[in-house]
C-alpha cells in the first residue's frame, strides 16, 4: 500500500531512473513522482519500472521558474500519499556557449541550482515528517580531486546567474563544476535552517561518481560524446567510475534506508560520508548564494 511519496527530478533516464527503480523495489510503501520535462519519455521510463502503478508523471522544467511553481501546485492537487522525500537529481552541462533559462539566468546555474532551490522552497511546507532531501552534487566540485574537470570558480551568485558570454568549452565545464559546488552550499545551508534534522527533515549531498552513459555529455562535440558513451564504460573497474544502476541504488538508499535515519548535513561518496571541498563550507559564499537565489525567485514572480 502506498503511504509515502518521493519526488525525483530527471527520473526519466540515467541516475534518476535507476534511483526510482531501486526505491520502488526496496519498499512497497513508496509512490514515486517522475518530475520530468518530457511526458512521453517519462511514460517510457515508468514502463521500465516493475511497479508503474506506483508512479505518477508530472511535468517539470527546471529552466523555468513558472514551470517549477506549476509543478508544486500540481503535486498538491494530485491526491498522492504524503510527501516524504525529494531527490534533486536532474542536471545538465552546457559547453557550446552561453544558454539562458526562461528567466534569463545562465542555464547550467539555473537548472542545476536555482530550479532545485525553487522546487525545494516550494515544497518544504508539503513535507510530512520525517522527511529526507537528497541533493546530487559531484566530485568535480572539489579542486583537490583529480577529475579532469576545471576547478570551480565561485565569483558571486549574481555573476553566476548573469555571466559574460563565453565560447570556450572549458568555461562551460567550469560552470558545471561551480554549479555542483552550489549544490553543496545549498545543502549545508538548508540543513542549518532546518535545525540539522531537528525539524524532522534531513538534508544530504551525494556524489554518484563518474557515470559513463549519463546524459551529461549531450552538449559535447561528437567524438567526445562517443568516448563518453563507449570508451568510459570499459573503465568501470577504476575507482570513482560507477554504473548508473549502482549509483542509483545508493541514491535511493539515502532517501529510504533506516541506517540513514536522522543523518543530516553530510556529503556522501556513494554510501560513505566524506568531507567536501573547503569552499563548500564557506559561510560567506553560502549566504551570498542563498540570498541571491531568494532575490532571483522574487524577481521571477513580479
> What is the SS3 assignment for 44?
helix
Question: Number of C-alpha atoms within 13 angstroms, CB side, residue 72?
Answer: 20
Q: Which helix (H) or strand (E) is 7 found in, with range?
A: strand 4-9
Whose CA is closest to 20, among 62, 64, 57?
57
Using DSSP bridges, classify how beta strands 267-269 and 272-274 pair: parallel, antiparallel or unpaired.
Answer: antiparallel
Distance CA(200)–CA(33), nearest Å, equals 21
Q: Which three cell numbers stand for residue 191?
A: 540543513
Contact 144, 277 (CB under 8 A): yes
Contact 112, 89 (CB under 8 A): no
User: How far is CA 39 from its chain centroid?
Assistant: 19
Contact 104, 26 (CB under 8 A): no
176 catalytic per annotation: yes
- Active-site annotation holder among 154, 176, 220, 267: 176
Active site residues: 176
Amino acid at each position: 500500500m502506498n503511504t509515502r511519496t518521493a519526488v525525483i527530478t530527471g527520473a526519466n533516464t540515467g541516475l534518476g531512473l535507476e534511483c526510482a527503480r531501486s526505491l520502488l523495489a526496496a519498499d512497497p510503501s513508496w509512490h514515486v513522482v517522475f518530475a520530468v520535462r518530457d511526458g512521453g519519455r517519462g511514460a517510457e521510463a515508468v514502463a521500465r519500472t516493475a511497479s508503474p502503478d506506483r508512479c505518477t508523471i508530472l511535468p517539470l522544467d527546471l529552466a523555468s521558474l513558472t514551470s517549477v511553481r506549476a509543478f508544486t501546485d500540481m503535486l498538491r492537487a494530485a491526491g498522492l500519499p504524503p510527501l516524504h522525500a525529494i531527490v534533486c537529481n536532474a542536471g545538465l552541462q552546457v559547453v557550446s556557449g552561453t544558454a539562458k533559462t526562461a528567466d534569463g539566468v545562465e542555464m547550467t546555474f539555473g537548472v542545476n541550482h536555482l530550479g532545485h532551490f525553487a522546487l525545494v522552497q516550494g515544497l518544504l511546507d508539503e513535507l510530512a515528517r520525517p522527511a529526507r532531501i537528497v541533493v546530487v552534487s559531484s566530485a568535480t566540485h572539489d579542486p583537490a580531486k583529480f577529475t579532469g574537470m576545471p576547478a570551480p570558480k565561485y565569483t558571486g551568485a549574481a555573476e553566476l546567474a548573469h555571466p559574460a558570454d563565453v565560447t570556450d568549452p572549458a568555461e562551460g565545464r567550469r560552470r558545471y563544476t561551480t554549479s555542483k559546488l552550489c549544490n553543496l552550499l545549498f545543502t549545508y545551508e538548508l540543513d542549518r535552517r532546518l535545525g540539522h534534522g531537528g525539524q524532522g527533515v534531513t538534508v544530504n549531498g551525494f556524489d554518484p561518481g563518474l557515470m559513463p552513459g549519463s546524459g551529461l555529455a549531450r552538449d559535447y562535440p561528437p567524438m567526445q560524446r562517443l568516448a563518453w558513451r563507449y570508451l568510459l564504460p570499459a573503465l568501470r573497474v577504476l575507482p570513482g567510475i560507477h554504473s548508473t544502476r549502482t549509483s542509483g541504488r545508493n541514491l535511493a538508499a539515502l532517501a529510504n534506508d533506516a541506517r540513514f535515519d536522522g543523518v543530516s548535513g553530510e556529503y556522501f561518496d556513494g554510501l560513505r560520508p566524506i568531507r567536501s571541498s573547503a569552499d563548500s563550507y564557506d559561510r560567506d559564499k553560502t549566504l551570498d548564494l542563498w540570498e541571491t537565489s531568494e532575490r532571483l525567485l522574487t524577481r521571477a514572480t513580479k
